Amino acid sequence: MQTLGLSGEAKRSERWLKSIFWPTVENAWDVDYLGRQGFWICLIIAAFQIVVSLVTGNPIMIATGAAAALAFLIGGMGVREGNWPAAALLFALYFTALLYAMATGGFPGFLSIILAAILLSNLRAAFLASQWRPAAEGEDRPARFNETVGDKLADQLPRKAWPVLQIPFFALASLLLLLAVVGLGLQMLQRFGLFPHAGPAQP
């Protein structure tokens, strides 16, 4: 259990399934666990973005998918460090993409809906973790390990990289969200006939 960064799991206040869909924070072990969990969730979604974009074979989709994956990777580091605005921006990005898929006549798959729900829960977890304060100075806290590849990714990398990458992350994620909102707006206008597709010129 130590290599998973869960050596303090006995001090956590809830089970893992509840921590994914309705997290609460009662102690430092909850804060650490939810931050680590949020990082892995964002990393999985980053991989999901890459795979989906590659399947399309469209160079533009591949480029935007890679940019979104990078945003989720770096944003996951922010979630690990208890930065709830990063979690909020990631949820907004993913949710806007779902709305765009619906506006284009598609319906998001079951997995996409579940991931959106998990990201919303991730936002709740990051916000609660950011608001938690120890009852006393010097209170016992879980250690961050540096033994396995997982430890280096989830425990060590965010602590070192997030202070440097947070400004580029917010710039990239805000740009992606702006483009997504504009694309969604244009699609909605077209869908309601307020911004029709350009057709051949009439004689």
Instruction: For 129-167, give the DSSP string.
Output: HHH---SSTT---PPPP-SSHHHIIIIIHHHHHHHHHHH
CB 71 within 8 A of CB 93: yes
Averages of pLDDT over each 10 residues, the chain, 203 residues: 41 71 86 93 94 88 93 96 95 92 80 91 92 73 88 94 97 96 88 57 37
Predicted structure pTM score: 0.84
Q: Which two tokens stand for residue 101?
A: 């898929």
CB 79 within 8 A of CB 39: yes
Residue 173: strand, helix, or coil: helix
Q: Where are the domains of the chain?
A: 24-133+146-191
